[in-house]
A and B are shown apart, each in its own frame.
Chain A
Amino acid sequence: MAAPIASISDAFRADGSASYKCPVTGYRVLAAVNAPVELPARKGALKPQEATVEVSIRPGKLSPSVVEKSAESILRRMLASVILRRHAGYPRRGVVITLAVVEGEPVGRSGTYLPLMPALLHSSLLALMSAAVPLSCTFMTLFFAVTRSDEIVRDPTPAAIKDAESLHVISFSSTGRTLLDLVDGPCDLDIWATIHQQAKDIYQGAAVPGPDGDISMDEESNNAPGDIIRETVEDRLRRDYRWEFETL
């Protein structure tokens, strides 16, 4: 399976920016974060004790519709639980996250946003880190489809998504909490529990080294999305601070 492609701090003028491409579904999302900023239009509605998180999704070729609005509210709730909204300088300010879907099959009015969720969430996480917004933890998101013969497929292709009985998106924080558990389509509790367990195994495989102390390099544990995020951040930080650490 091809690894996702990610980059961080691409846009020069935004406070934080990132792009993330999921090679299987073909979606590429460009994220920009501006924080902390004043949200002048709703000054009175802002909570005095914490920051307000705003998410807006721009689909590539269409104008935003109801499905984007519903995805925005899911993202807003999930990201707000990760951002330290009471950190100094953040109360009564806004964290504005703009996500543009620049590549991939557009989602119609009756479509589902679940296949886009990993790309949307991972690109916003990278952009939030690039803007140095205080976060309590990082997270990783996994995407599964259940076929008509009750077979669980991780990272399904667009064709498999179309034929699938149900779609599942699960997010784990780096502290081990389940942050998001979305299901689209009919699914019984056994399958849901199996997927949850499988996701947890992948998550733990990504974080915990093997019994001999080495992180195994085989295909299965190597494609955890948590690794690509850490690698992207480390590469960029090393490049940005080359002047400080190469002259030592």
Chain B
Amino acid sequence: MTTPLILLPGDEVPNDHLPTIKSHAKSAPLKIGQGLRLVSQPSTTSTPQSRVLKATQAGILTTDSKRKIVSLLSFPNRRYTPTVNDLVLAQVHHSSADYFHCILTPHTPHAFLPQLSFEGASKKTRPNLKQGDLVYARVLSTGVGASAEVELTCVNPATGKAEPGGLGPVTGGTVFDVSTGMAARLLLATSSRADDSDDGVAGLVIISELGRKLANVGGFELAVGRNGRVWVDCPDAEEHAVPAILAIGRCMQLTDEHNLDLADQKKLVTRTLRELKLAS
């Protein structure tokens, strides 16, 4: 294990921490991710070592030497800023002739969701979403310049299918707010197929633990939005539905708030289920 390098705004990224880029034209260029900026660009004749990258945020430097990406991991409670291809949980604010105007984060301009960008939607058959309805959508574009408008979509424009699965209006269930860092971890934990591993994915075991322990009430559905919102539903749980949903929400929020480690997460799941009378 190497100690992570922590940078503050204005700090220069040391050259030995950057992925090696060969100077010949065929190699992939360096991609600069979030939290860094290029201060001086090397000219084509000089060596790549003359490149100067500076941090714009406080964070831990991470590099992906295979894909040649360098970026900073910043504080997890920051505000969500839309990025193309993010999966988000949007709430409809109002609808106009062609668009649903959706809320992604409080106190930011509404995001636009075209009324026809649902699977199988046409001028005659399109979802009739009311104020407050929830949509699981993908960020299609974030626009350019000062009046940048965020556009969402629930279909893949190339195929006309809801890809990846599950995009579209969500009904029933409850939404819980978590930090954006926690939402990213939940997405990692729920999208990978490592449910059986005991040490968890992205430092989270609550989802796999809850999945195992709530299997007897019919399991649950989860939709994680990168904007820090998580939708939970237990469609088959009947009279256990409300306590089961509450248990899942409470486990996520307490893990987030207290930054629990794996052993504490397991204890939290057991205790929460016992308190809500879902397990003996």
- List residues of A whose CB falls within 8 A of some B CB: 8-9, 12, 14-16, 34-38, 48-49, 84, 87, 89, 91-93, 129-138, 173-175, 229-230, 233-234, 236-248
Contact = CB atoms under 8 A, between A and B. Distances in A.
B53 to A, nearest CB: 14
B81 A230 contact: no
In the A-B complex, list the 5 residue pairs whose CB atoms are closest, starting with the nearest: A243-B203, A137-B10, A135-B9, A134-B56, A91-B146
A230 B57 contact: no
Interface stretch (B20-28, B69-77, B270-278): B69-77
Contacts, number: 125
B107 interface: yes
B77 A12 contact: yes
B146 A233 contact: no
B75 A9 contact: yes
Nearest to A245: B4
B225 interface: no
Contacts of A89: 81, 142, 148
B129 interface: no
Given A48-B146, A134-B57, A245 B1 contact: yes
B35 interface: yes
Main secondary structure of the interface of B (DSSP, over half): loop
Contact of A135 (B56, B79, B261): B56
Given A240-B75, A243-B202, A247-B199, A175 B10 contact: yes
Interface of B: 1-2, 4, 6, 8-11, 35, 37, 56-60, 73-79, 81, 107-109, 142, 145-148, 179, 181, 185, 199, 202-204, 257, 259, 261
A91 B240 CA distance: 48
17 contacts: A16-B75, A34-B79, A35-B79, A38-B109, A48-B146, A92-B147, A129-B57, A132-B58, A173-B10, A229-B8, A233-B8, A237-B75, A240-B75, A240-B259, A241-B4, A243-B259, A247-B199
B98 to A, nearest CB: 22
Contacts of A49: 146
A237 B1 CA distance: 17
Given A174-B8, A240-B75, 6 more contacts: A48-B147, A84-B56, A92-B147, A131-B75, A131-B79, A242-B259
B172 to A, nearest CB: 26
Contact of A15 (B56, B57, B73, B78): B78
